[in-house]
């Protein structure tokens, strides 16, 4: 039997989901989270499809669990997360989780990433994806990004590009995120490390479909992140 979060802690947990053109994938994800009794902040990042309408429809079903903020134009996952982090602090949370809205992450892993925070072992957690499940191109880009994170940010982690992370509100107030795009993953790790926030890696399941593979850190994104990392050195 795995870890079970108390009703009180669950009530103080908020999940941030950045969403860009996820109309066909987001509904099962958010409704499953809502059915589990968690509250979530969804940031629609200027989607050009009807993602916002899909989220609004789910909000009607679960008005107490879903809070929506929407960017009028697309600004990247990093910006959506910045909006999410700023928004979530208005609700006085205790724990903040961040996961992808495309169904790549399993909602069942929520308790796994929350467990180190709730038990007090850590104040920040990253969900580590199993390398064997990762497509080859993604695996290669991820290996490069882990190396770059180690070189530029001096932090050694097994999965620097994961979108599944959790942090206590107390720790969240200490970190400063400036990344606009996918650099956010490495920047989050750097901030946690630099602020000496107790940190843990937790293995998570990843569901890869052709659609989810099209997004995320591929070689092109890795190159963009490298440019930004160099820029951040000055």
Partner 1 sequence: MLLYSILFPIISLIAIAWFLFRHLKGKNSLTTVILWTVLWIFVIIFSIFPNTSFVFARLFGITRGLDFLIIVVFIVLFYTVFKLYFRVDELQEQLNTIVKELALQNEITSDDEDE
Binding site for partner 1 (CB under 8 A): 43, 46, 52, 56, 59-60, 63, 67-73, 75, 79, 82-83, 86-87, 180
CB of 90 to partner 1, least distance (A): 8
Residue number, 87 or 144, with CB nearest to partner 1: 87
CB of 59 to partner 1, least distance (A): 5
Residue number, 75 or 150, with CB nearest to partner 1: 75
Residue number, 27 or 105, with CB nearest to partner 1: 27
DSSP 7-43: HHHHHTEEEEEEESS-TTTHHHHHHHHHHTT-EEEEE
Using CB atoms within 10 Å of the CB of residue 15, give its burial: 0 to 12 exposed, 13 to 18 middle, 19+ buried: buried
Which DSSP letter does residue 228 get? H
Residue number, 44 or 185, with CB nearest to partner 1: 44
| Segment holding 165, helix H or strand E | strand 165-168
Residues 6+ apart with CB under 8 A from 35: none
CB of 51 to partner 1, least distance (A): 12
CB of 180 to partner 1, least distance (A): 7
């Amino acid at each position: 039997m795995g870890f079970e979060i108390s009703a009180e802690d669950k009530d103080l947990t908020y999940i941030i989901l950045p969403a860009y053109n996820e109309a066909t994938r987001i509904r099962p994800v958010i409704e499953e989270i809502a059915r589990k009794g968690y509250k979530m902040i969804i940031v629609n990042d200027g989607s050009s499809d009807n993602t916002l309408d899909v989220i609004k429809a789910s909000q009607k079903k679960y008005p107490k669990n879903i809070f929506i903020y929407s960017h009028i134009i697309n600004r990247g996952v990093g910006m959506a997360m910045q909006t999410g982090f700023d928004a979530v602090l208005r609700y006085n949370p205790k724990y903040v989780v961040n996961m992808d809205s495309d169904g790549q992450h399993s909602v069942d892993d929520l308790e796994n990433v929350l467990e180190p925070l709730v038990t007090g072992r850590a104040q920040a957690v990253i969900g580590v994806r199993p390398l064997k499940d990762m497509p080859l191109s993604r695996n290669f880009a991820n290996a490069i990004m882990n190396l770059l994170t180690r070189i530029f940010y001096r932090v050694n982690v097994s999965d620097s590009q994961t979108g599944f992370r959790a942090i206590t509100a107390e720790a969240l107030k200490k970190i400063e995120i400036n990344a606009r795009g996918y650099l956010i993953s490495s920047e989050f790790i750097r901030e946690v490390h630099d602020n000496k926030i107790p940190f843990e890696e937790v293995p998570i399941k990843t569901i890869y479909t052709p659609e989810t593979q099209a997004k995320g850190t591929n070689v092109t994104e890795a190159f963009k992140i490298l440019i930004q990392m160099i820029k951040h050195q000055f």
